[in-house]
Amino acid sequence: MLLEVEGLCVNYGHIEAIRDVTFSVEEGTVVTLIGANGAGKTTTMKTLSGLRKVRAGRVMFDGKDITHLPPYERVKLGLSQSPEGRGIFPGMTVRENLDMGAYVRSDKAEMAKDFDRVMALFPRLEERISQFAGTMSGGEQQMLAIGRALMARPRVVLLDEPSMGLAPKLIQQIFSIITEINEQGTTVLLVEQNAAQALKRAHTAHVLETGEIVRSGTGAELAGDDSVKAAYLGGDV
């Protein structure tokens, strides 16, 4: 397994945000975490990125224990995140934001290839390359956040709520691009409230409720599960 999460427990002060969370991400797959607001999805992603301290459990990446590694060391190993809320640098241009995604790298020729890859995935960004990121639409900013994460050339990219706040047409476009990213060889761990779209693309999926994984299976299995349909899919996919 490329990424393994074992018995993960994380607190916010005295409040237990996630407890005994265990799952794995096989190389080349799309794994999704679904659940209601406050279920612990974003906390899980921040912990994997190194932004939250672990109270118990461990995180393994390609056989290496990274539980207490700082975020930038995780990026060097091949783990990068497009965060909830996008987190772009509004006062920087699109190009400068993308360069920030590659800040741990020094392989200029390969960085240029990855820049070309991002431009091919997101032609809109090429049109906006010199524009300040803060002046772009929400959809364009989401494209930029994902592109910035890809500039680190991750082996696993963590995508936290990539469709949040987007129009339906853009949501479909973002999910199509996520599929393409995976088909190009990048493993994807996806947190998403749009459960129907996420489950359609997931090889494996997990349902988080109040900080615990309560159900796991293939994306198709969970999409067909009556309790999942009722809770997250409006009774239908």
- Encode pLDDT of 66-114 as tens digits: 999 999 999 999 999 999 888 999 999 999 999 999 999 999 999 999 9
| Per-residue 3-state assignment (H helix, E strand, C coil) for the chain | CCEEEEEEEEEECCEEEEEEEEEEECCCCEEEEECCCCCCHHHHHHHHHCCCCCCEEEEEECCEECCCCCHHHHHHHCEEEECCCCCCCCCCEHHHHHHHHCCCCCCHHHHHHHHHHHHHHCHHHHHCCCCEHHHCCHHHHHHHHHHHHHCCCCCEEEEECCCCCCCHHHHHHHHHHHHHHHHCCCEEEEECCCHHHHHHHCCEEEEEECCEEEEEECHHHHHCCHHHHHHHCCCCC
What is the sign, positive or negative, of the torsion defined by CA atoms of 190, 78, 8, 14? negative
Q: What is the mean pLDDT of the chain?
A: 95
Query: For position 53, what pLDDT does the model report?
Result: 95
pTM for the model: 0.94
Query: For position 233, what pLDDT does the model report?
Result: 83
- Encode pLDDT of 184-232 as tens digits: 999 999 999 899 999 999 999 999 999 999 999 999 999 999 999 999 8
Query: For position 237, what pLDDT does the model report?
Result: 41
* Percentage of residues of the chain with pLDDT beyond 70: 98
pLDDT band for position 236 (cuts 50, 70, 90) = very low
- Encode pLDDT of 116-147 as tens digits: 999 999 999 999 999 999 999 999 999 999 99
Superfamily of domain 3-85+156-232: P-loop containing nucleotide triphosphate hydrolases (3.40.50.300)
* Contacts (Cβ under 8 Å, ≥6 apart) of 132: 90, 91, 92, 93
